[in-house]
Amino acid sequence: MFRRIGIVFLMALLLAACAPRGVDEACCVVAEADSLWQAGLQYGIDEGDSATLAQAYKTLEAIPLPFREGLGLGSPYAHACYHYGRLLRRADDPVAAMQVFISGTHSGTDDHHILGRIYSNMSDLCHLASEFPLAYDMYERSGEMYLRNDDSLLYYYDLNNMAFELAEQGKKDETFILLDSIAHNCNDRNVFLKTLETKAKLYFQLQLYDSVIYTTNVFQLRRDCVPTSCGLKARAFWHMGQVDSALYYANQVLSMPTASEQNKYNMLYIIANADSTLSNEDVLALSAQRSDIETDILIPLHSKWGLAVQLLQQDLNRKPDWRWFWGVVATLLVVGLCLWLYIFRKHKQRALLSQQVEDLTIQNEEAKDQQIKRYNDRLLRIQENCDILANSDSIMDSLQWKNYDKFCECINIHFFLLADKLKATDRLNEKEIRLCVLVLIGSFTDKQMANILYYSYNSIRSTKRTLANKLGTTSANLRSFLIEKAAK
C-alpha cells in the first residue's frame, strides 16, 4: 500500500515537471472539439484528426483523479470522454465507447451538462442492447444532471426518453404518467413530436395498431416522414392485414437513406411477403438480403452492444477502492501522532498525561453507552410505529398517502427524518421513496405494493432489487437497511 502511495506522489511530481505542454495541447484539442460541437460538427469526422482526439483523452486520463481535479482538469477530461466516446460510437465500437463514457462519469467534474450528455449516450447503448430498464435508469441520471444545470428543455427530452423505455416494456400507465407530465409542463414543439413517437411505440407494443396509425399520421402532419414512424406504420398495417398499405410504407422506408439496418430488416420481410408482383427469384433475393443484414450487421452489433452493457453493469456494481486514500490518512495520522507525542512529553508530566488518557477513556465509554441506548430506543420506537401502522384500518390515511409533502412530514415524524435521509441520497424519486416506506412497515405483500404503486406484479421484485442496488444493499436486507438508516 505504501509503495502505491509513493508511486502516486512520484507521478504527481513527474506530471508537474514534464507534462504541462502535453496537458495544454490536450486541453486545446478538447476546446476545439467543443467549438465544433457547438457548430453542429464533430471532431474527427467533419474536422480534426481522430488520433489527436484519442491522444488528448489518454493524456488527461493518465492524470490521477485527485491531481486532475486539483489542477482544474476534471471538466476538460469529461469533455474529452464525451467527444471521444461519440467518435468511437461512429466507428461502431460501442464497447470502447461505453468504457470511455464510464470514465467520464468518474471524472470528478461538476459540469452537469456534459455529464447529462454522457449519461444520455450510455442510455442509447443500453437501449440498442434492449436493456430497457437500465436505459431508463441512465436517462433518469441524465435528466437529473440537466435539472442541476437548469436546462429544462433537455430534461423534458430525457423525460420522454424515459417514457420511451417504459413504452418498449409495454408499461402503459407509467408511460402516460411521464407523458402527461411533459404535456403539462413543456410546450416545445419538438418535444411534443417526440412524445408522439413514444405513444406510437407504446400502442404498437400493446397491439393497438389503429392507434399506431392514427398517432403516426398526427406526427407526419407536423413533420416530414422519418424511418422510425414510417416503419411502425408499415408494421401496424401488416398486422392489421392491410398488405397494400404495409407494402407502400415499407418501400418508402427502404428509399430513405437514414433508415437503420433494423428498419431495413423489418421492411424486407413485409415486401417479400406482401408484394404479389415479385417472382420466386425476387423473393429469394430479398430473403437473402435480409439474412445478410441479420448475419453480417445485426447479430455482431447486438453482441457488441451486449458487451458494452456488461461493462456498465460491472461499473454500477463496482465497489470503489479506497485503500490508497486510507493509506494516506493513516500515514498523516501516524506522523501527526508522533509529533504530538514529542511536544506533549516536553511540556507535560507523565502523571498528568496518564490521568488525561484515563478521563478520556471513561468519557468515550459513557458516550458509547449513551449512543447505544439511544440507538436501541429508536429501533424499538420504529418497530412500534410499524406495528401500529400495520394494524391500522386506514393505513393510507394515517400516512397522508395522497399528499406527498404531508406524507414525507408524517414519515419524518414517526421514523426519525427517514424521508429526508432518503431524499438526501439524490438517487431516489418519489415513487421509490414511497416503496421504501411500504417495505419498512413490513406488512405489505409484493402484490399489495404493486397495486398501491401501480407497478405490474411481475416487475415489483425487479423494482425492489433496483431500489436496493441504488441504496447499496440487497432486496433481502432492504427492510433491515431502512430500519438502521432511520435509527442512525
> Measured between alpha carbons, how far is residue 467 from residues 28, 471, 478 in Å?
41, 6, 9
Q: What is the pLDDT of residue 149?
A: 92
- With 80 as the cut, is the pLDDT of residue 68 above it? no
Q: What is the pLDDT of residue 346?
A: 76
pLDDT in tens, 359-396: 788 888 888 888 888 888 888 888 888 888 888 888 88
- With 90 as the cut, is the pLDDT of residue 220 above it? no
In the three-class reduction of DSSP (H, G, I as helix; E, B as strand; rest coil), residue 47 is classed as strand
Percent of the chain at pLDDT > 90 equals 36
Q: Give the residue from 114, 116, 84 showing the smallest Cα distance to 99.
A: 84
Instruction: Measure the CA–CA gap between 295 and 291, rounded to whole angstroms.
Output: 6
pLDDT in tens, 120-137: 999 999 999 999 999 999
Length of the chain: 488
Percent of the chain that is helix, strand, coil (3-state, to 5): 80, 0, 20
Residue 236 corresponds to which cell in the numbers above? 401496424
Instruction: Measure the CA–CA gap between 43 and 49, rounded to whole angstroms.
Output: 7
pLDDT in tens, 141-200: 999 999 999 999 999 999 999 999 999 999 999 999 999 999 999 999 999 999 999 999
CA torsion sign, 234 to 237 to 243 to 248?
negative
Q: What is the pLDDT of residue 14?
A: 47
- With 60 as the cut, is the pLDDT of residue 470 above it? yes
Among 5-14, 56-65, 299-308, the minimum mean pLDDT is found in 5-14
Residue whose entry in the numeric block shows the C-alpha cell 441524465: 142
Q: What is the pLDDT of residue 391?
A: 85
Instruction: Measure the CA–CA gap between 120 and 135, rounded to whole angstroms.
Output: 9
Q: What is the pLDDT of residue 66?
A: 63
Alpha helices (H) in 19-151, listed in sequence order:
20-38, 50-61, 65-70, 74-90, 94-105, 112-128, 132-148
Among 66-80, 93-107, 227-241, 361-375, the minimum mean pLDDT is found in 66-80
Burial class (CB in 10 A: 0-12, 13-18, 19+), 436: buried
- With 80 as the cut, is the pLDDT of residue 352 above it? no
- The residue among 346 and 384 whose pLDDT is bigger is 384
Q: How many CB atoms lie within 10 A of CB 107?
A: 26
pLDDT in tens, 41-55: 998 888 888 889 989
Q: What is the pLDDT of residue 371?
A: 84
Instruction: Measure the CA–CA gap between 270 and 287, rounded to whole angstroms.
Output: 11
Any residues with CB less than 8 A from the CB of 97 and at least 6 apart, and which? 85, 86, 88, 89, 121, 125, 308
List 43's β-bridge partners, or say none: 47
Q: What is the pLDDT of residue 8?
A: 47
- With 80 as the cut, is the pLDDT of residue 231 above it? yes
Averaged pLDDT for residues 199-211:
94
Averaged pLDDT for residues 328-336:
79
Q: What is the pLDDT of residue 84?
A: 92
Q: What is the pLDDT of residue 320?
A: 60
Average pLDDT of the chain, as a whole number: 86
pLDDT in tens, 288-317: 999 999 899 889 989 999 999 999 999 888
- With 50 as the cut, is the pLDDT of residue 30 above it? yes
Confirm if 271 and 247 have CB atoms less than 8 A apart.
yes
